[in-house]
Amino acid sequence: MSRSDSRPRMPGNCGISEAIEELSLAPVLFSRFQKLIYNECGIWLGPQKQALLTSRLARRLRTLGLSTMSEYFRLVTQPDQQHERSVMLDCITTNETHFFREPRHFDYLAQEVIPKWKREAEAGKRLRHLSVWCAGCSSGEEPYSLAMLFLKHLSAEAGWFPQILASDISTRVLEKAREATFPIEKAQEIPKEYLRSYMLKGTKESTGTMRVVPELQKIVRFARINLFADSYPVQGTFDLIFCRNVLIYFDDRSKEKVLAGLVRHLSPTGLLFVGHSEHLNGARELRLVAPTVYALKSAAA
C-alpha cells in the first residue's frame, strides 16, 4: 500500500472516465470486497467508497472480458489467483508523492542525525554502513531524495556505504520507480544543489523528462512488500525506517499490526519517521524524539 501521501485518487491504468452501465456493485457484494481487501492489505474501504471501487475495477473487468462484478469476485478469490489479487490492489491504491516532501524531516536528518552518525563513526561506536527502509515508497521520489541527501553528506571516500530498500504493495508504481525517470516539472521540488548533481535532463526523444543519475540508482533497490503481512521478506534491522503517510489508511487493529512489524526491523538505535499528520499515541515500544520521529524506548536517550 502506499504509502507516501497515498490518498485514494483515480489511477490512470485502472479507472475509467465513461460510465459503464452494465457494471454495478450491490451492497452485499461490496461488503465481500471490503472484507477481501481488508484481509489482503489491512485497508478498510468505508461505505462511501462503493462508487470509487466500482469505477476503479471497471477497466480491469473489461480487460479480462468479464461482464459483472460477481464474476470478477469469483475469479479474484480463487486460491491460484494471487497475481490477480495483486492487480486488484494496484487498482484500488494509488500514489502521489514529491521529492523532499515534508522537508523538516530532511532538515532533521542533515542537521541532527547525520552529524551524530559521523561523531559515532569517528569514535568507533558505529559502522559506516547505513541501512534504510522506505516503506510505502510510491513511485520513488522519497527514496531517491534520501539517496541524494546521503551521497551529499556521507561520502564514499570517507567509507560511508548507504543502502536503501524501497518497498510498496503496488507493482505498478514500483515499475515506475525502477525506471528512475520523472517529468521535468518535478525539478521544482528538488533543491538546486541536488538537482544539478543528481538529475540528468532528458534530450531528443526524452525531452520533457529528467533521470536519476546512476550513482543514486546503485544504492536503492525496490521490492514489493505488503506491510499487513505476518512477516516481511527482509533481513536484519534498519538505521532508519520511513513510513510516512501510510498508517492513516489503516484502522487501529491494522495499524497496530503494521507498527509491530516495522518495530521488529528497527535497529536498537534506529529511528522511525511517520507523516506529519500521523501520530503514534499508544505505541508502547516507541518514544517521541522529534516531531513525528520515534525511537525505541529501550534505546539510550
Among 215, 216, 214, 213, CA closest to 201? 213
Question: At residue 271, does pLDDT exceed 60?
Answer: yes
Using CA atoms, how far apart are residues 97 and 80, in angstroms rounded to an integer? 33
Q: What local confidence, expressed as pLDDT, does residue 93 receive?
A: 79
Using CA atoms, how far apart are residues 140 and 180, in angstroms rounded to an integer? 7
* DSSP H or E segment with residue 27: helix 27-41
CATH 1.10.155.10 assigned to domain 1-96? The reply is yes
Q: Are 223 and 233 in contact (CB under 8 A)?
A: yes
Instruction: Tell me the per-residue pLDDT of 131-146, one tens digit each, with 9 for 90 and over.
Output: 999 999 999 999 999 9
Q: Which long-range contacts (CB under 8 A, 24 or more apart) does 280-283 make?
A: 280/247, 283/259
Average pLDDT, the chain: 89
Q: What local confidence, expressed as pLDDT, does residue 2 receive?
A: 45
**Residue 119 neighbours by CB distance under 10 Å:** 11
Confidence of residue 96 (pLDDT cuts 50, 70, 90): confident
Contacts of 4 (CB under 8 A, 6+ apart): 95, 97, 101, 134, 136, 137, 138, 141, 142, 244, 245, 246
Which CATH class for the 103-296 domain? alpha beta
Using CA atoms, how far apart are residues 24 and 19, in angstroms rounded to an integer? 11
Q: What local confidence, expressed as pLDDT, does residue 301 receive?
A: 55
Share of the chain above pLDDT 90, in %: 74
Mean per-residue pLDDT, 279-298: 88
Count of all residues that appear for the chain in the document: 301
Sheet of strand 286-290, all strands in order from the earlier edge strand to the far edge: 220-224, 161-168, 129-135, 238-243, 266-274, 293-296, 286-290
Q: What local confidence, expressed as pLDDT, does residue 79 receive?
A: 94
Q: What is the pTM of this model?
A: 0.87
Q: What local confidence, expressed as pLDDT, does residue 7 receive?
A: 38
Q: Using DSSP bridges, classify how beta strands 238-243 and 129-135 pair: parallel, antiparallel or unpaired.
A: parallel
Q: What local confidence, expressed as pLDDT, does residue 140 receive?
A: 95
Tell me the DSSP string of 116-169.
HHHHHHHTTSS-SEEEEEEES-TTTHHHHHHHHHHHHHS-GGGT-EEEEEEEES
Q: What local confidence, expressed as pLDDT, does residue 19 receive?
A: 37
Task: Please give the residue that has the higher pLDDT: either 83 or 281.
Answer: 83
Question: At residue 13, does pLDDT exceed 50?
Answer: no
Confidence of residue 196 (pLDDT cuts 50, 70, 90): very high
Strands (E) across 172-219 are located at: 181-183, 199-201, 209-212
Q: Which of 16-20, 144-148, 291-295 has the lowest mean pLDDT?
A: 16-20
Confidence of residue 130 (pLDDT cuts 50, 70, 90): very high
Mean per-residue pLDDT, 289-296: 95
Domain ranges of the chain: 1-96, 103-296
Question: At residue 14, does pLDDT exceed 80?
Answer: no
Q: What local confidence, expressed as pLDDT, does residue 293 receive?
A: 96
Share of the chain above pLDDT 70, in %: 91
Task: Please give the residue that has the higher pLDDT: either 229 or 44.
Answer: 229
Using CA atoms, how far apart are residues 169 and 102, in angstroms rounded to an integer? 22
Which active-site residues does the annotation give? 56, 168
Q: What local confidence, expressed as pLDDT, does residue 1 receive?
A: 47
Q: What local confidence, expressed as pLDDT, does residue 279 receive?
A: 80
